[in-house]
Amino acid sequence: MKDIISKAFENRELLDDNDVKKSIYNVIDQLDKGIIRVAEPQGEEWVVNEWAKKAILLYFLIQKVEKIEIGPFVFNDKIPLKRDYDINNIRVVPHGIARYGSYIAPGVVMMPSYVNIGAYIDTGTMIDTWATVGSCAQIGKNVHISGGVGIGGVLEPIQANPVIIEDDCFIGSRSIIVEGVRICRESVIGAGTIITASTHIIDVTKSNPIEYKGFIPPRSIVISGTYSKNFLAGTFNIPCALIIGERNKSTDFKTQLNDILRNNI
């Protein structure tokens, strides 16, 4: 499928071939079932399967816009919604919406939220109210995505990496994580923190600051902050993210997940 998808992406005339269309549909179905992923861990690193992203884009090309009616609600789109939540032991609160082609593991709870195509959400995770999980974002096990959080999507540019939130992370309310940022395991992101690929991430826990970009080390506690930068017009404070400590028992207690809320039986 990888070879077929790659050739069709370079030569769109191949989309008239039924075998090519069948391969595209097959990729989206396997993304929906979690058999393949847009990005996957290999040891301590993550590998992006760019061809899977290409398949999603080609899926948009071969799909036709259709009216979707759900009770009194009417939509007009190319991508159907996910189904079979009950069979897969996924709890979805109205108006939780996930597009077909996103994978949601058994044991996930979706409050009124939105999950886009290509995303992967692992077991035990909660997507809280009005949170959005963008296209191809990778969310690990036992993650709490708090209310109003924005996890960015990435279907263009094609070479860009998806946002990755690893296992056991806690993302505070109204935070924004975009542009391929990787939040490593067990990290805690404070409410309202914005992290992009260009955000200065400064570890202030040592005698000298250590700076990262696009990467939060494991078990970090992160809050929003500012740093001073000189411009022709003067010195101004620029937003940044501050690593102010490492997760400990007190942090674990404050961010512990409630198994009662994850009982989907």
Q: CA–CA separation, 8 vs 16, rounded Å?
A: 10
Does residue 31 form part of some domain? no
Q: Check: CB of residue 180 under 8 Å from CB of residue 162.
A: yes
Share of the chain above pLDDT 70, in %: 94
CA atoms within 13 A on the CB side of 181: 26
Q: How confident is the model at residue 127 (pLDDT cuts 50, 70, 90)?
A: very high
Q: How confident is the model at residue 158 (pLDDT cuts 50, 70, 90)?
A: low
**How much is the average pLDDT of 12-17?**
95
Q: CA–CA separation, 37 vs 49, rounded Å?
A: 7
Q: What mean pLDDT value characterizes the chain? A: 93
Which residue range(s) make up the domain with 144?
79-248
pLDDT reported for residue 71: 86
Q: Check: CB of residue 149 under 8 Å from CB of residue 133.
A: no
Does residue 157 form part of some domain? yes
Partner residues linked to 74 by β-bridges: 69
Q: CA–CA separation, 184 vs 50, rounded Å?
A: 21
Partner residues linked to 221 by β-bridges: 188, 245
CATH of the domain at 112: 2.160.10.10
Does residue 146 form part of some domain? yes
Q: CA–CA separation, 66 vs 203, rounded Å?
A: 49
The mean-pLDDT minimum among 45-49, 89-93, 259-263 falls in 259-263
pLDDT reported for residue 186: 97
pLDDT reported for residue 262: 64
Q: Check: CB of residue 144 under 8 Å from CB of residue 172.
A: no
Please tell me the pTM assigned to this model. 0.93
With residue 106 as reference, give the H or E element that holds it. Answer: none
| Domains in the chain, number | 1
Number of CB atoms found within 10 A of residue 191's CB: 15
Does residue 180 form part of some domain? yes
Partner residues linked to 210 by β-bridges: 203
Does residue 26 form part of some domain? no
Task: Let me know if 157 is exposed, middle or buried by CB neighbors in 10 A (0-12, 13-18, 19+).
Answer: exposed
Does residue 49 form part of some domain? no
Does residue 15 form part of some domain? no
Does residue 160 form part of some domain? yes
Share of the chain above pLDDT 90, in %: 87
pLDDT reported for residue 128: 97
Contacts of 262 (CB under 8 A, 6+ apart): 107, 109, 124, 126
How does pLDDT run across 76-104, given as a tens digit for each residue?
A: 999 999 999 999 999 999 999 999 999 99
Q: CA–CA separation, 187 vs 220, rounded Å?
A: 5
Q: Coil, helix or strand for 257?
A: coil
CA 62 to chain centre: 25
Q: CA–CA separation, 37 vs 119, rounded Å?
A: 8
